[in-house]
Amino acid sequence: METQNVRQAMIKRVILILVIFAGVLQAQAKTKKFGTWIEAEFSKDIFQKLEFSIKPEVRLQDNFSVDEYLIDGQLTFKPTKFLRLAGAYRYTTDIKNEGNETFHRFAFDVLAKKEWNRLESSFRVRLTNYAEFDSENSKSNFLRYRLKFEYDLSNSKLRPFASYELFHDLTEKEINKGRITLGSSYKISNKSRLGIYYRLQTYFLDRSIHILGIQYKIDL
């Protein structure tokens, strides 16, 4: 019981630190925008250690007009319980007044995770040729580093989570923005969950974007 209390106190401290850090970033930002992201994820195990998923998504601007349509296809290989390797392709339609534009993007992930009873931590490194809300015409490649914590509440269908991610521009050789996410998912059934989150993306000493996200995930 004492060990469990220590772990619960630890996750609360982590979330508190992330919240405080988000406030600091928000105070530094000069320009603020708001967006809403609505996404679904459909996953299927092809083989014992190989999973395929499709993720359609729509992103809305400040006035709830459509900004982007996205669809991701991803293959995830699970060589061990603690390691995930993934490759993804993204097709993006960017809505413009003068005519829509389409873009082709890729991502490669290495994710390691560890569980301590009800607390799960993970660290992901992603190599990609896109960065959210940047110019789609950018030729830069990025390394993205994300640390995430999830907690499986006892006798509850809720699973709160918190994460922080840094974007490393390999062309400019600088870390130019950070992203903090706080939210929770709700277990609908053994194979599906509904989630909601708040995300603050900050371009250091420049501007910030506030995002409300809604997610639905199902294992087929």
Inter-residue contact 193 to 16 (CB < 8 Å): no
- Each residue's pLDDT tens digit, 40-63: 999 999 998 999 999 999 998 877
Q: Give the pLDDT band of residue 25 (cuts 50, 70, 90).
A: very low
The confidence score (pLDDT) of residue 29 equals 42
Q: Which domains does the chain have, with CATH numbers?
A: 2-219 (2.40.160)
Residue 7 predicted with pLDDT over 60? no
The residue-averaged pLDDT of 204-211 equals 79
- Chain-centre distance of CA 174, in angstroms? 21
d(CA 179, CA 209): 9
Backbone angles phi, psi at 98, to 5 degrees: -90, 5
Res. 30: pLDDT tops 50: no
Closest CA to 102 of 129, 74, 73, 70: 70
